[in-house]
Structure formats: structure tokens, C-alpha cells
């Protein structure tokens, strides 16, 4: 049996290695038009920021190592230029020799990946404009920084790669700005969770131009829809598109985006041709709708599944839930499943809540608070999405929650999880447990919630009581207009001052003390609502909305 794999990196290289482990006698050929068959593309920004200092560490496997360990014929700088599916042959161009030859196959795996989108704007092909996809791109950027000594950079696009590039360009000593067409960075997050990210990124000296787009690059000037920025170099990071022209030309079915349509066994519409990685359409694990979610983890799994099926072992891909984590200087951001925008679009009848808790026992040195937001389906109580922004311990909690989502856990199931505890690592009631406790209170009706976006709609005619149970000192640093202050520890002695015939809307700093206040009030016959996420979340979101710091005309 002869299998040809077009493209390496995550999907193709994983498929090749897995197929060899399953079939020692198979003939396996990997075609890669570039110079590198297997490299750490997620590590590329960190070479630019000199976190990774040896470029050899970016290369995971070489043709020689593939041959030695797996007996796989890896042909770099060999580009597949045509697939004849009827004859089961491929026309290949040797880029070094500028010659063309033909190979037959029994099975074919396509792993061409995705290419950076280059928007149709003037000046986009300038010598100071870069994209980042592979090691040569990385070396070009590094060489430009070392030889041209740029002082400033603009990153167009505030997704994962854009933010990582902004961080690493800043670490390389440049003044950095991010331009993003949406109202917030990192599309998997909702605006309320991105607000903390914005504040932190700006504290680190990176300027943000949100709700703004690029009209042109004119030498060292980036012309925006509103304003312009001086920049010695420009990084394009506006997203990627599947690179599937070869597949389309041979008749393989693709969707409107150009993604290859595959079944759960990673089979395309043409027999004996499989496709994996960023080039394929996947099923969203939560919504079950077709989706484009280019991530390395799913690509590796898909390569393995394609190899399993070729070798005669039934294997299926069960969908992508979009679990991802991002480092921004010392901050960690993670998400899994859908956000509110996606949940609404999918018609999910969801509820949500927030917690703000320390990464480990607060009395042990080094604890940092993390902000957690969870969405769950009201009808089934299944968790459909989680977002976490914080520092230490974020990835640990997200891995637990992503596993819970994958196995269909209810939000209330989190209360029963038995997780590791010692003061340096966690708390006796871990933030994951606490998320379940808070949600269980909501689901069971022990607490009613209201949210930061409801505050402006609260009546001001005296028909409700607005109560702030923070300390007097806390209130001095900021308050929500119209809320009267009665600190929690004084509430019982002042409870007679609160009218019983009106609903009471309560807030504290994070939602914990106001929950206790609501239980006190409910026990005395009051109708009480707790501000989910508390003053901390409200203040973060409202300030980010009210102060578009760099959305000014003719900013320099």
C-alpha cells in the first residue's frame, strides 16, 4: 500500500508517523514544497521576541530524522501541482531541479494548511509589510528587525497570532500598536472578558486602535479609517484562509470559504483521498454546525484519524470545540466552546455567570485572581462555553473545564469534582468547584442575577432599591450612580431601612459578598438580585467602552 501525504507540519506529519506505527510495510511519501516538513509554527512569534533563541529548536523533525525513525520518504521543496484522481497519480515539481515527475498512490492525504489573508489595500506589498506562517517568514522578520533597526510596528488584526506578535515585537524593543476592526481583541472572548485584556495590554505600552480598520500602507504611515499611525514595519494578522486550490482543481468538494468538506473519517468527496488540518471544514462540537477552526491540536488528531482509517482501524473525528490558550506577557487568556455571540447565533437558550477568585490559597504567597465566565444551556444545563482571563493557574482550570465540556458535563456537575489541593496549587474549594456552586445557586433559584449590561436599564424612579455592600473605603475609589452604601457586615442592623415592597439590586466587588447579602435579605422576605461579576467587572467593561484611548483622528 502506497500513501502520499501532501503537506507536513501538524496534520501531515502526524498522519505519516501514525501510519508507520500501524503499518510497517506501507510505502509512505510526504511532499512538502517548503524547506521544513515539521516545525513548531505556534512557537514562531517567540523566536522573534527572543524567548526562543536557537532557530533549530523550531524544527521538530527533518527528512533525515523521519527516514531514520519511521522509514518515511520526505521530499522537501517538492510541490504537488496536479492530482489525477481517476488514474490515482500526482504531478510533482522538484523546485530545486525545476523538473516535473509523476507518482502513483493508493491513498492520498491532503494537509496543505491555511495561508494568511492579505487584504486588498494599497501598499500591502511593501518591503516593510510581513505575514507569519512558516520559518522563512520568521527569519525574514527577524532579519528585518536586526538589519533595518525599526523603532515602531503596527499589527493589523487582534486575534491570537496578532496579539502574540504584538507582545514579541514589544519584547524586541519596538513601540507597538494593534489595529482591530472589531470592538475588542481576541474574537473567542466576549467584550466583557476582553476588557481586562485591553487594560493590561495598554499598561504594557501597546496602543490599541479598536473599531478601526486599515485603508492603506503608505511607506511608514498606516492610514486608518479614522486617523493614521507612523510605523517602520507592519504585521498582517487578519486571519487565514484554507489553501485548497489543488483540491478544488481535481474536483474535491469544498464549501464557500474554500475549506475541504470531509466526513468524520476525514474522507473527502473522492474515494481514497483524505484531508486534515487547517484546510478542512469541521463540525463545531457545541453547535454541530460546519465551522472553520484552525488549531494545531485538532490538526494532529485529524492526521491520526486519517491514518487509522487507511490502516483499517475505524476511527472518527467528533468535532472541534475551539479550546485555546494565549500568553500575553505574564497574563494568560483561555477559552473553550462558544461565546455569547456564537451562542445567540446558534439559538442556544443559555444562562451565564462569573467568578473572580485566586489561583491558589490566598494566604500562600503569589496568588493571583482570575476572572472566569461560563455559559450553559438552560434546557440541558450542559456547559457550552468558558472564558478565563488571569495569570497563574488559568491553563490548569481551562483544561479541566474543556474536558468537562467534551464529556457533556452539566454546569452543576462541577460542584462534585475532586481536584488537587495544596496551598501552593489551589484552594480546598477550587475555582472550578466555585463556578459550579455559583451556577447551582442560580439554577436552583437560590439567587437571582443581573448583569453589567442591565444596570443602565434599571429604573431610577424609586421603584427598586439599589444597594452597594462594599466597605466605605472601597466606595471612595468608585461607585455606580444611584446605589446606596450599606457595608455587608452592617446590613443586619440596617435592614429595617430597606423597603420590603421593592426589589433590591445588590453589588459588591466580585459578587461574593453581595450573594451573602442577598441570602440575608431573602431570609427576611426581600426579593433580591445579585450583580454577577460585581463592581470589578462592571468598572472594567464600562471604562473600556467609555474611553476609546486611541480611537482619535490623526493620532501619531
Mean pLDDT across the stretch 363-380?
96
What pLDDT is recorded for position 77? Answer: 94
Give the Å distances, CA to CA, from 7 to 75, 266, 310: 10, 15, 17
Q: What is the mean pLDDT of residues 296-323?
A: 96
Q: Ranked by mean pLDDT, which of 40-44, 49-53, 238-242, 330-334 comes out on top?
A: 330-334
Q: Which of 184-188, 363-367, 542-546 has the lowest mean pLDDT?
A: 542-546
Nearest in space to 281 (alpha carbons), one of 294, 296, 270, 291: 291
Residue 97, classed as helix, strand or coil, is: coil
Kindly calculate the radius of gyration of the chain based on its CA atoms and give it in whole angstroms.
27
For residue 545, the model assigns a pLDDT of 73
Residues serving a catalytic function are 42
What pLDDT band is residue 302 in, cutting at 50, 70 and 90? very high
Of all helices (H) and strands (E), which one includes residue 229?
strand 228-230
Average pLDDT over residues 498-514: 96
Give residue 52's pLDDT band: very low, low, confident or very high (50, 70, 90).
confident
DSSP label at 360? Answer: S
What's the average model confidence in pLDDT over 395-401?
Answer: 98
* Rounded Cα gap, residues 165 and 168, in angstroms: 5
pLDDT for the residue 63: 86
pLDDT at residue 48 in the model: 84
How big is the CA angle at 538 (ends 203 and 533), to the nearest 5 degrees?
105
Residue 223, pLDDT above cutoff 60: yes
> Per residue in 450-497, pLDDT tens?
999 999 999 989 999 999 999 999 999 999 999 999 999 999 999 999
Backbone angles phi, psi at 217, to 5 degrees: -115, 115
Q: Does residue 550 register a pLDDT over 80?
A: no
pLDDT of 556 > 60? The answer is: no
| The pLDDT of residue 136 | 84
What pLDDT does 546 receive?
58
Element (H, E) at 144: helix 135-148
> What are 68-110's pLDDT values in tens digits?
999 999 999 999 999 999 999 999 999 999 999 999 999 999 9
> In this structure, what C-alpha cell is assigned to residue 185?
481583541
Question: Which pLDDT value is given to residue 549?
Answer: 41
Give me the count of residues in the chain.
556
Closest CA to 158 of 552, 550, 553, 556: 550
For the chain, give the percent of residues with pLDDT over 70.
97
Write the pLDDT tens digit of every residue in 231-271: 999 999 999 999 999 999 999 999 999 999 999 999 999 99
Mean predicted confidence (pLDDT) in 295-304: 94
pLDDT of residue 347: 97
- Does residue 552 have a pLDDT over 50? no
pLDDT band at 40 (very low <50, low <70, confident <90, very high): low
Amino acid at each position: 500500500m502506497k500513501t502520499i501525504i501532501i503537506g507536513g507540519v501538524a496534520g501531515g506529519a502526524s498522519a505519516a508517523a501514525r501510519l508507520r506505527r500501524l503499518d510497517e510495510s506501507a510505502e509512505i511519501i510526504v511532499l512538502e514544497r517548503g524547506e521544513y516538513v515539521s516545525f513548531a509554527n505556534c512557537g514562531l512569534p517567540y523566536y522573534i521576541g527572543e524567548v526562543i533563541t536557537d532557530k533549530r529548536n523550531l524544527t521538530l523533525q527533518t527528512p533525515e530524522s523521519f527516514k531514520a525513525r519511521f522509514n518515511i520518504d520526505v521530499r522537501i521543496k517538492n510541490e504537488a501541482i496536479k492530482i489525477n484522481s481517476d488514474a490515482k497519480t500526482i504531478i510533482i515539481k522538484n523546485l530545486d531541479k525545476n523538473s516535473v515527475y509523476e507518482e502513483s498512490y493508493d491513498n492520498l492525504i491532503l494537509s496543505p494548511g491555511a495561508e494568511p489573508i492579505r487584504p486588498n489595500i494599497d501598499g500591502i506589498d511593501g518591503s516593510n509589510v510581513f505575514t507569519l506562517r512558516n520559518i522563512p517568514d520568521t527569519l525574514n522578520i527577524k532579519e528585518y528587525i536586526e538589519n533595518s533597526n525599526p523603532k515602531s510596528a503596527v499589527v493589523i488584526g487582534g486575534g491570537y497570532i496578532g496579539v502574540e506578535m504584538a507582545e514579541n515585537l514589544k519584547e524586541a524593543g519596538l513601540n507597538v500598536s494593534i489595529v482591530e476592526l472589531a470592538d475588542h481583541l481576541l474574537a473567542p472572548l466576549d467584550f466583557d472578558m476582553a476588557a481586562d485584556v485591553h487594560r493590561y495590554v495598554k499598561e504594557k505600552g501597546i496602543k490599541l486602535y479598536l473599531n478601526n480598520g486599515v485603508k492603506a500602507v503608505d511607506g511608514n504611515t498606516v492610514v486608518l479609517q479614522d486617523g493614521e499611525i507612523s510605523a517602520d514595519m507592519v504585521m498582517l494578522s487578519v486571519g487565514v484562509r484554507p489553501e485548497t486550490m489543488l483540491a478544488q482543481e481535481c474536483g474535491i468538494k469544498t464549501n464557500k470559504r474554500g475549506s475541504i468538506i470531509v466526513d468524520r473519517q476525514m474522507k473527502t468527496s473522492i474515494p481514497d483521498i483524505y484531508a486534515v488540518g487547517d484546510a478542512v471544514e469541521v463540525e463545531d462540537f457545541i453547535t454541530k454546525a460546519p465551522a472553520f477552526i484552525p488549531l494545531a491540536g485538532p490538526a494532529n488528531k485529524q492526521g491520526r484519524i486519517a491514518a487509522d482509517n487507511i490502516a483499517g482501524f475505524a476511527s472518527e473525528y467528533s468535532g472541534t470545540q475551539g479550546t485555546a490558550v494565549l500568553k500575553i506577557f505574564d497574563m494568560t487568556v483561555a477559552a473553550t466552546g462558544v461565546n455569547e455571540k456564537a451562542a445567540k447565533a446558534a439559538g442556544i437558550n443559555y444562562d451565564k455567570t462569573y467568578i473572580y477568585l485566586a489561583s491558589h490559597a490566598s494566604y500562600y504567597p503569589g496568588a493571583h485572581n482570575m476572572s472566569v465566565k461560563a455559559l450553559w444551556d438552560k434546557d440541558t444545563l450542559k456547559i457550552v462555553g468558558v472564558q478565563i482571563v488571569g495569570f497563574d493557574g488559568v491553563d490548569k482550570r481551562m483544561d479541566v473545564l474543556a474536558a468537562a465540556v467534551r464529556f457533556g458535563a452539566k454546569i452543576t456537575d462541577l460542584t462534585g469534582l475532586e481536584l488537587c489541593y495544596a496551598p501552593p496549587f489551589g484552594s480546598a474549594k477550587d475555582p472550578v468547584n466555585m463556578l459550579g456552586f455559583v451556577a447551582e445557586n442560580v439554577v436552583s433559584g437560590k439567587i437571582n442575577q443581573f448583569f453589567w449590561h442591565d444596570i443602565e436599564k434599571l429604573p431610577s424612579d424609586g421603584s427598586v432599591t439599589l444597594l452597594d455592600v462594599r466597605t466605605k473605603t472601597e466606595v471612595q475609589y468608585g461607585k455606580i450612580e444611584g446605589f446606596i452604601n450599606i457595608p455587608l457586615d452592617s446590613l443586619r442592623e440596617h435592614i429595617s431601612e430597606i423597603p420590603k415592597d421593592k426589589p433590591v439590586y445588590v453589588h459588591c466587588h466580585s459578587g461574593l459578598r453581595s450573594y451573602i447579602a442577598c441570602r440575608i435579605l431573602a431570609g427576611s422576605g426581600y426579593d433580591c438580585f445579585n450583580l454577577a461579576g460585581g463592581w470589578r467587572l462592571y468598572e472594567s467593561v464600562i471604562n473600556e467602552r467609555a474611553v476609546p484611548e486611541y480611537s482619535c483622528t490623526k493620532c501619531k
